[in-house]
Amino acid sequence: MIHSKREITRRDMLSHCAGAAAFAATLGNFKPLFAGRKSRWFKIGACEFCLCKPKAASFEIAKEIGLDGLQVDMGRPNPDEHLGNHAVQKAYLEAAKKTGLEIASLSIGVMNSIPLKSDPRAAKWLADSIGVCKALGITVSMPAMFGRGDLDMSNTREIDHLVKILKDVAPRAEKEGIVIGLENYLSAKDNMKIIDRVGSPAVKVYYDVGNSTDKGYDILKEIRELGRRGLICEFHAKDGRFMLGQGRIDFKEVRKAIDDIQYNGWFQIEAAHPNGIVPDYRAHYRYLRGIFPERG
């Protein structure tokens, strides 16, 4: 989730999580679960903005942590910071090559303050993101819908407008092999209502287990509901202010749900780091890798 006003703030994330350091120290002996499915794979990265490094420099800290790659952000409308700028694209591609990391997907975090549901600028940026994905060699564009961009299914005018924008962009996304992954606070059922209205295989859900847990949804049921229709394009892994594995979410059960839908792909860490970004993101990575191996 990428948004400017959260139910759980960045300051909350930095609050101390008892036992986190000791927990991290035990991860070296953590054994992968559910091994044996050789055709399945998982990659684990992080959201660029979480690493607190400007632009392409985020790849260096991601390498230090040991991640497989990054979900990069399209940036602010300022041309010098926007991934629509070819020079910025080149810098990201060079940083990925230099570090040996992958660019996994694209987020459009600015839509939290300039909403896709109502602002014409956001509609243009979504359309532009298709070209950015092509330039970066990735297949997922994630418009964020939090803060001012939060969705309310009872507001039919805004939902109708969102559906229209998605219908307008979807044909080009289909042609270019790009998926638009919706990330919001809606339930799986409400997201499916929007997707069914759009009627395109290019529109799916970017599923954040932390967001859905915050809202009280049954994430294991939702993953299976969406997954049976092939509607999950990628995952965010977080659990509010908790270190992964120490909070509300049982990621072993998440793995079982994911096995049921035969998902292969990325998990992007967007999690608490009370002891610092590098040590805690290393701990998150090792914890998740014990449950979601590269092959298995």
Sign of the alpha-carbon dihedral angle for 220, 225, 228, 229: negative
pLDDT surpasses 60 at 12: no
Percent of the chain scoring above 90 in pLDDT: 80
Residue identified by tokens 């002996």 is 29
Model confidence band, residue 267 (pLDDT cutoffs 50, 70, 90): very high
* pLDDT tens, residue by residue, 149-162: 999 999 999 999 99
pLDDT surpasses 70 at 70: yes
Mean pLDDT for the chain?
Answer: 88
Measured CA to CA, the distance from residue 8 to residue 235 in angstroms comes to 18
Tell me how crowded residue 2 is: count the other CB atoms within 10 A of its CB.
26
Model confidence band, residue 294 (pLDDT cutoffs 50, 70, 90): confident
* pLDDT tens, residue by residue, 208-263: 999 999 999 999 999 999 999 999 999 999 999 999 999 999 999 999 999 999 99
pLDDT on residue 79: 72
- Please compute the mean of the pLDDT values over residues 279-283 and round it to a whole number: 98
pLDDT on residue 19: 39
Q: Residue 40 is which amino acid? A: R
Superfamily classification of domain 48-291: Divalent-metal-dependent TIM barrel enzymes (3.20.20.150)
Q: Residue 100 is which amino acid? A: G
Domain ranges, ordered by start, for the chain? 48-291
pLDDT surpasses 50 at 274: yes
pLDDT on residue 40: 64
pLDDT on residue 78: 77
Is the pTM for the entire model greater than 0.85?
yes
Whole-Å CA distances, 41 to 12, 58, 143, 263: 32, 24, 25, 8
Model confidence band, residue 76 (pLDDT cutoffs 50, 70, 90): confident
pLDDT surpasses 60 at 13: no
pLDDT on residue 39: 57
pLDDT surpasses 60 at 186: yes
Burial 261-290 (b: 16+ CB within 10 A, else e): bebebbbbbbbbbbbebebbbbbbbbbbbb
- Please compute the mean of the pLDDT values over residues 130-156 and round it to a whole number: 98
- Please compute the mean of the pLDDT values over residues 195-203 and round it to a whole number: 98
- Please compute the mean of the pLDDT values over residues 87-91 and round it to a whole number: 94
Measured CA to CA, the distance from residue 2 to residue 109 in angstroms comes to 6
In degrees and rounded to multiples of 5, residue 41 shows phi and psi of -150, 155
Measured CA to CA, the distance from residue 133 to residue 173 in angstroms comes to 10
Q: Find the range with the poorest average confidence among 29-33, 94-98, 119-123, 264-268.
A: 29-33
* pLDDT tens, residue by residue, 16-44: 333 333 333 333 333 333 333 455 689 99
Model confidence band, residue 1 (pLDDT cutoffs 50, 70, 90): low
